[in-house]
Amino acid sequence: MNTFRKILRLILRIVFLIAILVLAFWLKTTYIQKNSAPISSPKAQEQIIALENPKEIEFQWKYNGKDYKLSKTFYGSLYNFYANSPKTYSYQGELSPDWEKDYYAMFLRHTSSDDSISLLATDLQNLGAQKKLNADQIVELALAFVQAIPYDHSRAEELLSGSGATNYPYETLFENRGVCSDKSFLLANLLTQMGYGTALLAYDDERHMAVGIGCPAEFSSYDSGYCYAETTSTGFRIGMIPEIDSKKGSAVPMEKKNYSQNSELSQFDAKKLGEPKIISVSSGKIYAGIADSLALAKKIDALSREINTLEKNLTAQKNDFSADEAKLSELEKKLKKLEKKKDYEEYNNLVEDYNDLLKKYKKKIQPYNEQIDVYNQKINYYNSLVKGF
């Protein structure tokens, strides 16, 4: 009996110790969760904002050589709400290992009074459907829309100097201008609303941000499953990697740099910009148009090589013709002198040489002219491909 009581007391002590350990672990976990959360709270996002002080904004942009425009109504009351919302990450206790993801998440949420992103996404999809665009083209249309929003150079200077703050997507739309982070948050929100997998690509060294759009892994940037999307300047296709102007924090515009100097395909080389931090935003559909873009880039590069080879051959032939033309011109002068002297015997001997050379010249000029026609056709085709690229 005593033995049984001893065993029972031992069991009770063990149970008591386990209970204390569980309670201590629960209290510690609760403290960390409570004190490591972003400053933005769910209640703030659920706050009802009266829609006051409407402002009509017309957005205009180009896609695939065609003009687009869209008018939307925004509200000063919502703008003020976001302008006064937290824009810095705050925490107590230990810094969460996912603090960057929590920080960026602040700019991806919206108050329940704000349906601007969902309405804009729907409008872009409807606009694309009206223009008979496929799903990939509608994604490109959305990117072109964001790219066309003017870059905010003055605020970029503030941010690069260590002051200023990132804007929420609603502020970017309301002001119709933004920096790389503003426009990236806007595009990420739009694509998420459209059901696509998205990520934010943060480049610390370059102090730049872009968007990653879910795409086939074999064609993706950094083998990440996301394709790079530049928002700060127009003309960049999905997957194209620009050069970044470190003084402005934006992409060097297409028209100010010969990006295809080496090759069109080299524009898709993600290594030249460095490794980014990839912050996943949403999972969903993938953009498959990258395969067509890469195939077109290869086609343009192959055509460029053909044109360069033709150009070299034509130049060599032209030099040969120039030598023949010089000889013919010299013979013509001699023939005129002989004719003037009435030295017909020498004239007849020389005219045979002249006619032989002229016959050879004409025989060579025919294929040359044919090659010129082929060259011009390839140039025109190349220009049409590049224009559409």
Write the pLDDT tens digit of every residue in 361-383. Answer: 888 888 888 889 999 999 999 88
Among 256, 154, 274, smallest CA distance to 207 is for 274
pLDDT at 91: 73
Among 337, 44, 299, smallest CA distance to 168 is for 44
Distance CA 110, CA 117 (A): 9
Q: Is the pLDDT of residue 23 over 60?
A: no
The residue that leads in pLDDT, 142 or 317, is: 142
Q: Which residue has the tokens 């939307």?
A: 72
pLDDT at 240: 94
Task: Write out 184-226 in H/E/C secondary structure.
Answer: HHHHHHHHHHCCECEEEEEECCCCEEEEEEECCHHHCECCCCE
Contact 233, 240 (CB under 8 A): no
Contact 199, 185 (CB under 8 A): no
The tokens for 363 are 């025989």
- Cα angle for residues 290, 134, 118 (degrees, 5° grid): 95
Q: Which whole number is the average pLDDT over 34-62? A: 68
pLDDT at 293: 94
Contact 99, 89 (CB under 8 A): yes
Q: Is the pLDDT of residue 303 over 80?
A: yes
Q: For 70-102, what is each residue's pLDDT tens digit?
A: 999 999 999 999 999 988 777 777 877 888 888
Confidence of residue 319 (pLDDT cuts 50, 70, 90): confident
Q: Is the pLDDT of residue 351 over 70?
A: yes
Confidence of residue 337 (pLDDT cuts 50, 70, 90): confident
pLDDT at 101: 85
- Give domain limits for the chain: 1-35, 42-288, 298-388
pLDDT at 377: 93
Q: For 181-236, what is each residue's pLDDT tens digit?
A: 999 999 999 999 999 999 999 998 888 999 999 999 999 999 999 999 999 999 99
What single string gives the DSSP state of each residue in 60-102? EEEETTEEEEEEEEEEHHHHHHHHTS--S----SSPPTTHHHH
Task: Give the predicted TM-score (pTM) of the model.
Answer: 0.76
pLDDT at 364: 80
Q: Which whole number is the average pLDDT over 269-282? A: 90
Residue 114: φ, ψ to 5° = -110, 110
Q: Which whole number is the average pLDDT over 322-342? A: 84
Q: Is the pLDDT of residue 16 over 70?
A: no
Confidence of residue 7 (pLDDT cuts 50, 70, 90): low
